Structure 1
């Protein structure tokens, strides 16, 4: 079965991100169309990027990088959860993505954003990062407002309208994740 990671984008104490990720996981698991798993970047204790070699070389020196790489390599696709921070992705997510390269290549990603402007600017910046990692990011996104989808700006309770934005993204993501398995197999056969 296609394996999809739901990746948190924040490591901050009291973060909203984990609640959004848990909700996405619960919704995704109801579908039965893929094997979904929550991957919390906080569990990997990644410092500011501290590898001597560019990620494309896969010459990882640090144990935290090796563990992170092994986990990410398990999946066919990803849902990245990002709040908008200074009109961009959350710093912890950008840092975590910077550690790796080949583990993401020829895989698919969907995105869920939240913020004062539904996380739209964070999503657009994330698209650029994912393109460089050779990740095929789907067009549909889950978008949530800090003003209407969070109780007291902290407890995630999406409106019905915004909650409905998740299913089209997951539809595309599952399809693309499955299709890109063939691309990865062709790449391996060519080596």
Structure 2
């Protein structure tokens, strides 16, 4: 059986975003640490999603916007997701919330993990995102990664703008725990979805 495919999704689309640095580091580190998952790095900037303006979620009827359909087709490729997010006013970026709303059936019964960064490690955004994923019928995993406080200012352009290697030792245990959770749930939910698909095809 092939490895579950995981999308590492960059949730911020600001030109001045910091997200590229931790997302790129996570992508390389995940490939190094996890032999039972395959990873892609997915950037919301590449999809030019409009604000959600469909009649309903594609759980109920097909979407009409070509960019939304392109996004849905991409998300359908994956068996789980890691959302890389900052915290904006105690929540996730509007770009990420909109991207979550633009898909529906693609998320169902798949695990979601979160990698947050900011002065408080995006803690409030992480909790809000978990609530959103539950409503989208995803499985939020317990372990998350948070870059916060002095670590954030060591690597952020708002501070010393150092390399991710400077804080790696401190966050690596959280990354390993997150990947372990994600692997268990991705394999479990993929197997269950495959059984349901086989039953429907019979």
Structure 1 and Structure 2 fold alike (TM over 0.5): yes
- How far apart, in 2, do the equivalents of 1:56 and 1:147 lie? 43
Instruction: For residue 58 of structure 1, report the CA deviation from its aligned partner.
Output: 4.2
Please give the alpha-carbon distance, in whole angstroms, between the structure 2 residues aligned to 1:100 and 1:146: 33
SS at match of 1:173: helix
Partner of 2:176: 167
Q: Which of 145, 149, 158 is equivalent to 1:153?
A: 158
Distance in 1 between the 2:44 and 2:196 partners?
Answer: 28
By how many angstroms is 1:189 displaced? 4.0
Matched, 1:53 2:62: no
Could you list the runs of 4 or more consecutive aligned residues of structure 1 that deviate by over 6 angstroms after TM superposition? Answer: none
Query: Unaligned stretches of 5+ in structure 1?
Result: none
Instruction: Tell me the alpha carbon deviations over residues 37-66 of structure 1, each in whole angstroms, 9 at most, x when there is no partner.
Output: 001111000121122223322411011011
Partner of 2:76: 73
Q: Which runs of 5+ in 2 are unaligned?
A: none
CA separation in 2, counterparts of 1:143 and 1:23?
A: 14
How big is the alpha-carbon RMSD for the aligned residues of Structure 1 and Structure 2?
A: 1.6
Aligned length: 191
C-alpha displacement at 1:21, in angstroms?
Answer: 1.0
Instruction: Give the structure-1-normalised TM-score.
Output: 0.93
Aligned match of 2:119 in 116, 120, 124? 116
Q: Which has the greater radius of gyration?
A: 2
- The within-5 A match list for 1:3-82 is 3-31=5-33, 32-82=35-85
Structure 1 10/164 Cα, relative in aligned 2: closer, same or farther at 3 Å?
same
Indicate conservation of the 8 Å contact 1:55/1:98, yes or no.
Answer: no
Residue equivalent to 1:88: 91
